[in-house]
Each structure stands twice: as structure tokens, then as C-alpha cells.
């Protein structure tokens, strides 16, 4: 598989990465099989996180016997304080069976409050800097769902790479973040290339992303057939046709009626509902197991029941989404999920 230079890190990474969220649902042998298949197909970039259940541990099992120098592994911690952040990192290294991780990211820096906590005295960034100095982390990085805030952090020059959502529906990163990453020579990891499992045409989704030479998409992989299909699309590197462009335009128009871009311009909600988290429940369900979904979504979905349909969020939403109606649908989906979990 073709490899591309990952910004100023100088790392040469495969044109596509391996996202480690869905393997939570697999047994250890199944997770090892799909991870090794990706490696055999030439994928050398693997992305995981402390928050992804047992993903780090399963990846560690899968890469036993593989030359560590062949792989570029990224992980993340949502901790905002130094002590917890470093504890997550040490656990990551233990699970991976490695002395170092290539990229370690402050995970989901999507609000000013999280940013401020990370950079405060005794915050996670102090831990990240220390870990780089000790050789436990090769390059400091961050992930976010907030494009304007991410751009602000990119301009600090403190990070070697950024990870943001990007696909042909959720394409805000193309306006400033992706060109800025190229200008600053930063690595760019494209999360949610399939919209968190909501875009089911791999050909369209991947070929759209291959237009952008300085990004590395990391689709979540659960099945050997999936990584084989994606690898074949990447290796063929066939440009989108006029008909493909028309199909993408139609899908974008249709999906945009209910697709939450997680910009959070709808906030603050008078009832304290974490709207973007509630509206992205389906994506979470498609990627994780019951425990993962319950841990991340439970509090927010219970809060969503308190919606008064006041309409304040609708006025603020730049995409004109009917948020109260969409919340009702998500509550129904949540109840179905709870019943399935109980069963």
C-alpha cells in the first residue's frame, strides 16, 4: 500500500489507517485476525484510545511478534489532569506491550473548558510534554470535534498532528483545518470517514477522501472483508466520476436534514441537554459494544428526556436541524438499545 509523509513527524504512514473502536465487540482471536489482516495488507497506522474499552489490549495481543518499527500506533486519553493522563499512558504502553507510542493525543478537546483544563498548571499537557521528554511518546497530538477550537490549537505549534471528523457530509474541516495542517506541516488524521458507520458506500467515502493528499483516514474496522474492500479501493485510487459526484451531492443533501455536525452552536440548552452527543447516538451504537455505548451515552440520553421543545437550539443551529424532533427519535433508539442490552 502507498505510504505518505505524516507532516513534520517525518513518519511514513499507509494511505489508510486502522480505527480501533469496533474491535471492542470482537473476541480477542477475532480482533487479532482482523488487525493482522490489515497489517498484512500494508496498513501500518493503528489508532486507538483509552476510552475504547479493551481496544488497546486487543491491539497489543494482535501485534505480538510483529516488528514494532513497522507500525505507527496512536492512542489517546480524555484525562485533563497530568496524573490521570500519565496513568492512562502507562496503561496504554502495558496493554500494547511497547516502550513507546508514536502519537499520544489529548482526546476530544472540543470545548474551551477542556482546553483550559489541559493547559492549566498540573494539566494533561504537562504530562504529555514530560512523556515526550522521557521517550514514552514520540509526538504530541490532539483530537477534537470542534473545528474552530482545533484551528486555534493547531496555530499554537505545540502539536505534531490533529485528528478531526471529516467525510463528504461532515466536511467543515476542508475549509480551513486541512489547508492549515498542510501549511503548518502537521499530520492530519481523518476520523469518521464513514460518518461513524452512517455512510455505507465505501467506494464513494474513501475515494472522496483520497483527493486530500495530506490526510490519513482511519475507518473503524470490524471485519476482514471490510479492510480488504477498503484496501482495494485505496490501491486502485480511482477518481470520482461525474455520476459519483452527483450521488454524493444527493446524499449530502438528504443526510444533511438530520446529520449533527457536533459544532455545538446550539448550546447552551436551558435544560442542560448535551445535544450533539444525543444526536450522534446511532453512530456510537454502530461502532461500540453495549458497555461502551452505555458508559458514554447514558447520562446524556436520560437528560434528553427533559427537552421542553423551546426551540432555542433550532434558532442557533447553522444547519437548521429540527433538534427537538430528532431528540425524540434518539430517545426511542435509546430505549430500544436499553431493551437489547437487558436481553
CA distance 219 to 18: 6
CA distance 75 to 92: 8
Contacts of residue 174, defined as CB under 8 A and 6 or more positions apart, other chains included, come to 166, 212
CA distance 76 to 85: 9
DSSP string, 8-59: GG--EEESS-EE-SGGGGS-HHHHHHHHHHHHHTT--EEE--TTSTTHHHHH
CA distance 221 to 287: 9
Q: Give the rounded percent of residues in the chain with a pLDDT score beyond 90.
A: 84
- pLDDT value of position 97: 97
Grouping H, G, I as helix, E, B as strand and the rest as coil, residue 130 is helix
- pLDDT value of position 285: 86
pLDDT tens, 281-332? 988 888 778 888 888 899 999 999 999 999 999 999 888 899 999 999 999 9
Q: Give residue 85's Cα distance to chain centre.
A: 19
Q: Please confirm whether the linkage preceding 268 is cis (ω < 30° from 0).
A: yes
pLDDT band at 342 (very low <50, low <70, confident <90, very high): confident
CATH fold for the domain made of 3-242: TIM Barrel (3.20.20)
Closest-CA residue to 205 (of 235, 246, 248, 175): 248
pLDDT tens, 35-80? 999 999 999 999 999 999 999 999 999 999 999 999 999 999 999 9
pLDDT band at 208 (very low <50, low <70, confident <90, very high): very high
CA distance 151 to 177: 6
Question: Where are the domain boundaries for CATH 3.20.20.100 in the chain?
Answer: 3-242
What's the grid cell of residue 45? Answer: 497506522
Contact 176, 156 (CB under 8 A): no
Contacts of residue 4, defined as CB under 8 A and 6 or more positions apart, other chains included, come to 12, 13, 15, 213, 214, 216
Contacts of residue 31, defined as CB under 8 A and 6 or more positions apart, other chains included, come to 23, 58, 59, 61, 62
Amino acid at each position: 500500500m502507498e505510504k505518505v509523509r505524516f507532516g513534520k513527524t517525518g513518519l511514513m504512514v499507509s494511505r489508510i489507517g486502522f480505527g480501533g473502536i469496533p474491535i471492542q465487540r470482537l473476541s480477542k482471536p477475532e480482533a487479532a485476525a482482523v488487525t493482522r489482516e490489515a497489517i498484512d495488507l500494508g496498513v501500518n497506522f493503528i489508532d486507538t484510545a483509552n476510552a475504547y474499552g479493551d481496544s488497546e489490549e486487543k491491539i497489543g495481543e494482535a501485534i505480538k511478534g510483529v516488528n514494532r518499527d513497522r507500525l505507527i500506533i496512536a492512542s489517546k486519553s480524555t484525562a485533563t489532569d497530568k496524573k490521570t493522563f500519565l496513568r492512562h499512558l502507562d496503561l496504554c504502553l502495558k496493554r500494547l506491550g511497547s516502550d513507546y507510542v508514536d502519537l499520544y493525543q489529548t482526546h476530544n478537546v472540543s470545548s474551551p473548558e477542556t482546553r483550559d483544563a489541559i493547559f492549566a498548571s498540573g494539566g494533561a499537557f504537562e504530562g504529555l510534554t514530560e512523556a515526550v521528554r522521557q521517550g514514552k511518546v514520540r509526538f504530541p497530538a490532539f483530537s477534537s470535534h470542534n473545528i474552530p477550537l482545533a484551528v486555534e490549537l493547531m496555530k499554537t505549534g505545540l502539536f505534531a498532528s490533529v485528528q478531526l471528523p471529516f467525510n463528504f457530509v461532515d466536511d467543515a474541516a476542508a475549509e480551513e483545518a486541512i489547508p492549515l495542517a498542510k501549511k503548518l506541516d502537521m499530520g492530519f488524521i481523518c476520523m469518521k470517514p464513514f460518518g461513524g458507520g452512517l455512510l455505507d458506500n465505501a467506494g464513494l467515502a474513501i475515494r472522496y477522501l483520497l483527493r486530500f493528499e495530506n490526510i490519513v483516514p482511519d475507518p473503524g474496522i470490524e471485519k476482514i472483508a471490510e479492510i480488504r474492500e477498503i484496501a482495494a479501493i485505496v490501491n486502485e485510487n480511482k477518481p470520482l466520476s461525474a455520476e459519483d459526484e452527483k450521488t454524493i451531492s444527493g446524499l449530502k443533501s438528504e443526510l444533511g436534514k438530520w446529520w449533527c455536525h457536533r459544532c455545538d452552536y446550539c448550546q447552551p440548552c436551558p435544560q442542560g441537554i448535551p445535544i450533539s452527543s444525543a444526536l450522534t447516538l446511532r453512530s456510537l451504537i454502530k461502532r461500540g459494544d453495549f458497555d461502551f455505548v452505555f458508559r458514554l451515552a447514558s447520562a446524556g440520553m436520560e437528560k434528553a428526556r427533559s427537552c421542553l421543545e423551546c426551540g432555542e437550539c433550532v434558532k442557533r443551529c447553522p444547519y437548521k436541524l429540527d433538534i427537538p424532533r430528532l431528540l425524540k427519535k434518539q430517545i426511542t433508539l435509546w430505549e430500544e438499545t436499553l431493551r437489547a442490552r437487558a436481553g
